Amino acid sequence: MELTPALARLMQELEKLPGVGPKTAQRLAFYILSRPKEEILSLARAIIDVKERITTCRRCFNFSEEELCTICKDMSREQSTLCVVADPLDLMAVESSGAYKGLYHVLHGVISPLDGIGPEDLRIRELIERLKCEPIREVILALNPTVEGDATAHYIAELLKPFNLKLTQLAMGIPAGGDLNYADRMTIARALIGRREFSETAE
């Protein structure tokens, strides 16, 4: 039973969002109906703005509202280190650690033959171009430790051989606050391989 055509259409649109089923769509639609008009127009405006204003940075392919993103424009960042990530969400995750002050390169995906995504669908060619003209000395491959992430990292590592670069990847091991008892075998194995000298002061 539909209450009104506008409400039915809104529920239909909301159901397209990830993780939103019919009941959630109904709840959201009724919430939207119940709020003051200005509040809802502000939500609609924010949705439209994101589509109208955001493009990708022409240098690193991070999301940006200008030709160059805030990170590329920030000349106080280390210009000799480049962190390669799969997508802008991963970039945000690395940024939120506060432990990285260099530049980024966003691939916009990983190689995944099953999904029909090959190297030419990613920003790999542009990465090579950057390395030819920018004074990069270290490339950090910060890809997820999954089959696709590893394959992409290996593919890029191969392409980067001709460049005289330090090539690194994120350390793998037990997460901070994690429990050995709940860590999977692969994580423990990688933590053992990557073990380091004990130091009294945690870094």
Per CB under 8 A, residues contacting a second copy are 1, 3-7, 9-10, 12-14, 16-19, 24, 26-33, 37, 39-51, 53-54, 62-65, 69-70, 88-89, 91-92, 95-96
Query: Shortest gap between Cβ of 43 and a second copy (angstroms)?
Result: 4
**Nearer of residues 3 and 147 to a second copy, judged by Cβ:** 3
Query: Shortest gap between Cβ of 199 and a second copy (angstroms)?
Result: 29
Q: At what angle do helices 124-133 and 147-160 cross, to 10 degrees?
A: 40
| Cα–Cα distances in angstroms (integers) from residue 151 to residues 48, 57, 102, 123, 147, in the given order | 36, 25, 24, 15, 6
8 A C-beta contact, residue 16 and residue 24 = no
Q: How far apart (Å, rounded) are the C-alpha atoms in residues 160 and 164? A: 8
- Closest by alpha carbon to 145, among 126, 122, 173, 124? 173
**Nearer of residues 50 and 186 to a second copy, judged by Cβ:** 50
Query: Shortest gap between Cβ of 11 and a second copy (angstroms)?
Result: 9
Query: Shortest gap between Cβ of 152 and a second copy (angstroms)?
Result: 19
Residues 6+ apart with CB under 8 A from 201: none
Query: Shortest gap between Cβ of 92 and a second copy (angstroms)?
Result: 6
Distance separating the N- and C-terminal Cα atoms of the chain: 60
**Nearer of residues 27 and 154 to a second copy, judged by Cβ:** 27
8 A C-beta contact, residue 54 and residue 63 = yes
**Nearer of residues 65 and 129 to a second copy, judged by Cβ:** 65
**Nearer of residues 6 and 157 to a second copy, judged by Cβ:** 6
